[in-house]
Amino acid sequence: MKKLAIILIVIILALSVSLCACSSKVNTQPVKIAVVYFSITNNTKTVANYIADIKGADVFEI
């Protein structure tokens, strides 16, 4: 259950960051995105790396 909650939190955070980045069309500077995760069994690591690949984000493990 904790794994599912962590995965959902990571996905929600990634989506909220991407939505915020899309709504600020006035700013012409490139947007930097970071995916930060904590993974004991590497399930969250897999999801975090997947999101980072899609968004072109930096990945940081806690």
Roughly what angle, to the nearest 10 degrees, separates helices 43-55 and 2-23?
10
Band (pLDDT 50/70/90 cuts) for residue 3 is: confident
Structure confidence at residue 17 (pLDDT): 66
pLDDT at 22: 52
- Give the DSSP H or E segment for 35: strand 34-37
Distance, CA of 24 to CA of 58 (rounded, Å): 20
**Average pLDDT estimate for 41-59:** 91
Query: Which tokens go with 40?
Result: 């004991």
8, pLDDT greater than 80: no
pLDDT in tens, 9-47: 777 777 776 655 555 556 677 788 999 999 888 899 999
Task: Judge whether 55 and 40 are in contact, CB under 8 Å.
Answer: no
